[in-house]
């Protein structure tokens, strides 16, 4: 299952944000537009951080399969920089990654 990217990476992030507002959790409850925006920005920030630290050559979500995406997210979650940033952000970044996996699984 590849990620379909219509109109580029930013459109994928926008689709993710819209999905969060419509349906984000196993319970099906929606997030506010503000919360959805924060999670979508978190995905972009995480990706930029990983590219800037030369851990990825391109955004981590531009993968050819769900398995590869999950592997990249597990790698990110074990990264010391990410762990520190996530702790300061009260786990917002790891929650954003979990939501992103759910989004991709439901695409």
- pTM of the predicted model, to two decimals? 0.85
Signed CA dihedral, 40, 42, 43, 47: sign only: positive
Q: Please tell me which of 21-35, 61-75, 79-93 the model is most confident about, judged by mean pLDDT.
A: 79-93
Instruction: Supply the pLDDT for residue 31.
Output: 87
Are the beta carbons of 107 and 4 closer than 8 angstroms? yes
Which is it for the CA torsion 25, 99, 86, 80, positive or negative?
positive
- Summarize pLDDT for 32-68 with one digit per residue, the tens: 899 999 999 999 999 999 999 999 999 998 866 889 9
CB count, 10 Å around CB of 51? 14
H/E segment holding residue 75: helix 66-78
* DSSP H helices in 1-32: 9-22
Q: CB–CB of 71/104 below 8 Å?
A: no
Give pLDDT, residue 62: 83
Among 9-13, 15-19, 97-101, the minimum mean pLDDT is found in 9-13
List CB contacts of 62: < 8 A, sequence separation 6 or more.
Answer: 3, 5, 9
User: What pLDDT score does 51 carry?
Assistant: 96
């Amino acid at each position: 299952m590849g990620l379909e990217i219509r109109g580029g990476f930013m459109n994928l992030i926008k689709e993710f944000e819209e999905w969060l507002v419509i349906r984000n959790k196993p319970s099906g409850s929606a997030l506010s537009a503000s919360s959805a925006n924060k999670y979508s920005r978190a995905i972009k920030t995480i990706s930029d951080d990983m590219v800037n630290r030369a851990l990825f050559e391109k955004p981590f979500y531009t993968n050819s399969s769900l398995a590869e995406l999950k592997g990249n997210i597990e790698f990110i979650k074990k990264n010391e920089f990410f762990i520190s940033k996530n702790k300061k952000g009260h786990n917002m970044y790891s929650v954003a990654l979990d939501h992103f996996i759910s989004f991709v699984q439901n695409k």
